[in-house]
Amino acid sequence: MLKDELTFDQFNQVNLSFHFFPDDWDQSGPKGPTNIALYPDLVEPGSRKKTLLLVKRSIDFAVSAVGLTLLSPVFLAIAAAIKLTSKGPILFRQERVGQYGKLFTVLKFRSMFVGNDHSIHKDYVVKLIRNQAQPTNSGGSGVYKLTNDRRITPVGRILRRLSLDELPQIINVLKGDMSLVGPRPAIPYELAAYQTWHRRRILEAKPGITGLWQVTSRSTVKFDEMVRLDLRYATSWSLWLDLKILMMTPRAVIKGSGAY
């Protein structure tokens, strides 16, 4: 039984919903319901959406391939700056959770000193997910993120401020682990702290480099609200919405709101 597979806390988080359907359809007969909209469970995912997802993947591949070529001088400049100013590798590799729980290695330009204590971030994130974290007052507005982190290098601070540390994730997009637009990929210890409904964010859409959360309220909202934004994106997704988010991203990057 499901109850036997869940802990007491997890079982209490399970919510059930049900619908009353009209009785004017004889399910034993050859004809279907007169109004299919009243029977959503009978509607299979449309071929149109599958086609659009294939188009989305094609766009991801093409844009990331061109982007890697055009941005190669920027990659080289950042790599040199990292190597000349701090010891350690140029790239930071970390295991992340992709769509449907598939694990992959995300790539970022290293923005921290090597050998630092990662438990600092883990402890803060767990508190954030459990709504126990307090916003940090920075620049007159509260943000839900670690600020003034001494683990970050001087070059890394600039990279984070302009979100340039995320550029190597173009390789993840090219490989198919991520999309240009989508929810941010979770770290495994984040997923372990999720409530049941939080887990929908890794089921509904492939993780992305930018997304609705980043261009609207990055780091200025609580975790629950961030998840709601991710689910809002997933349920209302369209190619036009992706294009709109991509067009809003440069302004959000230049503004630098919530980036630390």
How do the pLDDT tens digits run along the chain, 260 residues long? 555 656 666 666 666 666 555 555 455 554 555 554 555 555 555 677 889 999 999 999 999 999 999 999 999 999 999 999 999 999 999 999 999 999 999 999 999 999 877 787 888 888 888 888 666 654 444 445 666 778 899 999 999 989 999 999 999 999 999 999 999 999 999 999 999 899 999 999 999 999 998 898 765 678 898 999 999 999 999 999 999 999 999 998 887 654 54
What is the CB-side half-sphere exposure of residue 47 using CA atoms within 13 A?
0
Cα distance between residue 118 and residue 99, in whole Å: 24
Treating both helix axes as pointing N-terminal to C-terminal, what angle do 239-255 and 47-70 enclose, rounded to 10 degrees?
40
Tokens read off for 236: 């209302």
> What's the Cα-to-Cα distance from 29 to each of 38, 39, 41, 92, rounded to whole Å?
18, 16, 18, 60
Q: Which residue range forms the structural domain that includes residue 93?
A: 47-255
Q: Is residue 245 part of a domain?
A: yes
Phi, psi (rounded to 5 degrees) for 195: -75, 165
CA 222 from centre of chain: 15
Q: Is residue 200 part of a domain?
A: yes
Q: Is residue 41 part of a domain?
A: no
Residue 233: its H or E element: helix 223-235
242 contacts 181 by C-beta, under 8 angstroms: yes
Q: Name the nearest CA neighbour of 55 among 239, 247, 241.
A: 239
Q: Name the nearest CA neighbour of 168 among 116, 204, 209, 199.
A: 209
Q: Is residue 20 part of a domain?
A: no
Q: Is residue 5 part of a domain?
A: no
Cα distance between residue 180 and residue 42, in whole Å: 32
**Number of CB atoms found within 10 A of residue 91's CB:** 14
Q: Is residue 67 part of a domain?
A: yes
Q: Exposure of 9 by Cβ count < 10 A (0-12 exposed, 13-18 middle, 19+ buried)? A: exposed
Cα distance between residue 52 and residue 172, in whole Å: 20
Check residue 66 and give its pLDDT. 97
Cα distance between residue 142 and residue 175, in whole Å: 36
- Could you tell me the pTM of the whole model? 0.77
Tell me the three state secondary structure of residue 106.
strand
Domain count across the chain? 1
Check residue 140 and give its pLDDT. 44
Cα distance between residue 125 and residue 193, in whole Å: 9
CA 209 from centre of chain: 7
